[in-house]
Amino acid sequence: MHDHPYVSEASEGKPWFEWCVAVVVIVAGVIAALGYTTAATVLISVAAIISGSIRLILRDRSPWKVRSVAFDSFIGICLGIGLLVTYFSF
């Protein structure tokens, strides 16, 4: 078999979870358009940290899969933390 992570529709995450993330992004966009950029930034950051944490905890059973567990977790958690740090540093 293959020792590399799969990147195809058949082995990726669950569509319901991906749609939940998409809804969070749309809601954050609407919130930002209404002028509440802090709330929108926190919402996106929390969603990224939660999805990264879910991938780390559930590993192969995770509904959120893009690449490897390490990659997905690192990108999600660091994106969330980095976004918050960047936003509040200005």
pLDDT for the residue numbered 1:
53
pLDDT for the residue numbered 18:
85
Measured distance CA(29)–CA(13) in Å, rounded: 23
pTM value > 0.75: yes
DSSP letters, 18-85, are: HHHHHHHHHHHHHHHHTT-HHHHHHHHHHHHHHHHHHHHHHGGG-S--SS-HHHHHHHHHHHHHHHHH
pLDDT for the residue numbered 4:
59
| pLDDT per residue of the chain (90 residues) written in tens, 0 to 9 | 556 555 555 556 677 888 899 999 999 999 999 999 999 999 999 999 999 999 999 888 888 778 888 998 999 999 999 999 999 998
